[in-house]
Amino acid sequence: MSLIPPISIITENKLNGDSFREWKRNLLIVLNCKKHKFVIDEPCPPEAQPKARNCWRDSDLIARCYMLASMSSVLQKQHENFHTAKEIMKKLEDMLGSQVTLAQQSAITNLMNSE
């Protein structure tokens, strides 16, 4: 039995705007597996800690590349100039996170009205 490379999890299920919750879950799995998730959760260390700062920046670059590679080209263009993975995630949550809530509210309303 062969294992699926973690990166294929997110490149085969690209974010297109409708799949944010699933995409984010898969992305965080991959970032955890590759030990880069901390850049989403933690700020960049101060300049007084150059080794930790460089490590954080390297991991952030990798996380940003994973994020951009797993998006539709339209979303890539909208987010390619953000400086950190955390900034990209925040923007996506602001932009697409509310769609999940609206879809859930609509589904509940439809269920209640169908009775």
Q: From first to last of the 115 residues of the chain, give the pLDDT tens digit.
A: 567 777 788 878 899 878 899 999 999 999 999 999 999 999 999 999 999 999 999 999 999 999 999 999 999 999 999 999 999 999 999 988 775 444 455 555 555 666 5
The Cα–Cα gap between 24 and 40 comes to 11
- Would you list the domain boundaries of the chain? 8-113
| pTM, to two decimals | 0.80
Cβ-contact 10, 26 below 8 angstroms: yes
